[in-house]
């Protein structure tokens, strides 16, 4: 009842005029140019994998941090091995070109022919 009356009041009190500028989509003060129907080059699966890897990493580190003094040197060595392994995987991914996506990759591809 209240929602219906608020919607009715907004319709009744709202401005009834319209023009071309009011009908344009508006995004952060930028006037749109070109088509919104272009294909995106961003491989979303890479973003998902990065999120999962760093989410799991942070979950392990955050659970390790409160008890690091109880785990002693063994716990420190295990978490260090875990972080170094993840960093080596990230470096390998970087060297293989797995992090090359977006405008810079497109620009290099066009420059190289």
Per-residue confidence band for 66, with pLDDT thresholds at 50, 70 and 90? very high
Please tell me the distance from the alpha carbon of residue 113 to that of residue 110, in angstroms, as a whole number: 5
- How many whole angstroms from its chain centre is CA 20? 33
pTM of the model as a whole: 0.49
Q: Is the dihedral of CA 94, 98, 104, 105 positive or negative?
A: positive
- Crossing angle of helices 68-95/44-64, nearest 10°? 160
Find which of 2-6, 16-20, 22-26, 44-48 is predicted with most confidence, using mean pLDDT.
2-6
Three-state DSSP class for residue 113: coil
pLDDT at 9: 94
Q: Can you name the residues that pair with 30 across neighbouring β-strands? A: 27
Residue 107 in this model has a pLDDT that exceeds 60: no
> What are the sequence ranges of the domains in the chain?
41-96
Task: Tell me phi and psi for residue 78, to 5 degrees.
Answer: -65, -45
Distance separating the N- and C-terminal Cα atoms of the chain: 64
pLDDT at 73: 92
């Amino acid at each position: 009842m209240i929602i219906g009356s608020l919607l009715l009041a907004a319709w009744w009190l709202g401005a009834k005029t319209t023009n071309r500028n009011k009908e344009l989509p508006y995004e952060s003060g930028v006037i749109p140019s070109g088509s919104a129907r272009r294909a995106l080059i961003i491989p979303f699966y890479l973003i998902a994998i990065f999120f999962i890897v760093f989410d799991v990493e942070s979950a392990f580190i955050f659970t390790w941090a409160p008890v690091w003094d109880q785990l002693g040197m063994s716990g420190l060595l295990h978490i260090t091995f875990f972080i170094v392994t993840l960093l080596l995987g990230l470096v390998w991914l970087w060297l293989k070109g797995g992090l090359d996506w977006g405008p810079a990759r497109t620009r290099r591809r066009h420059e190289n022919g």
